[in-house]
Amino acid sequence: MRVLVVEDEDVLADAIAEWLRREAFAVDVAYDGDAALERLGVNAYTVVVLDRDLPVVHGDDVCRAIVDSGGETRVLMLTAAAAVRERVAGLALGADDYLVKPFALVELAARVHALTRRARPAAPPTLHRAGIVLDPARREAHRDGRHLSLTRKEFAVLAELLRADGAVVSAEELLEQVWDEHIDPFTNVVRVTVMKLRRKLGDPPVVETVPGAGYRIR
């Protein structure tokens, strides 16, 4: 799943992005509100981690734009203001959650995980199919009781295939949801990652290639 971090403090923005990447999210970063709106106009994000006090375009205006778009993007708003009225005002704008600075990165990641479950209908915290059990919050995966040692991208691809519940997921969709905006759209990284994932899942094979369409877990 893809996350946009919008924070004008460079060090904090980069720290949040790196932490979320460790959680197998694809993460883009914007350092002001104008850059955030540009990325939102191009990419589909599951969650936006949004600092409220942004330069150029205020975080409130970015939040309004996300809500007015009518999509399923969830907003986790960050602020240095701890007053209840400030939190209420942020939520009234349409933010889905609110986190006061300073915060623990582990808590921020937990909140992002919770918002991703709300962004899609009826997605359970733990995903099951074909003997595979995947827990996104704990970043653990097993097949028939055997622990799977997966890279971040392998884990994220497996999660997307499991969430599809047997439906075909195209390579383009996997590229959009698992990799960030810097990836070359003509790369074969999806095919290579799926190949390595198949090897780790073992026999009998469960990830099927649907010619001209994509991949699915039978």
DSSP string, 15-60: HHHHHHHHTT-EEEEESSHHHHHHHHHHS--SEEEEESS-SSS-HH
112-146 pLDDT, tens per residue?
998 987 765 444 568 889 999 998 878 899 999 99
Q: What percent of the chain has pLDDT over 70?
A: 92
Instruction: Say if CB 125 and CB 137 are below 8 A apart.
Output: yes
Claim: this prediction has a pTM higher than 0.85: no
Region 53-77 average pLDDT:
90
pLDDT of 180 strictly over 70: yes
Region 205-218 average pLDDT:
92
* Burial environment of residue 48 by CB neighbours within 10 A (0 to 12, 13 to 18, 19 or more): buried
pLDDT of 69 strictly over 90: no
With bands split at pLDDT 50, 70 and 90, how would you rate the model's confidence at 175? confident
Pick the range with the lowest mean pLDDT from 5-9, 15-19, 47-51, 65-69.
65-69
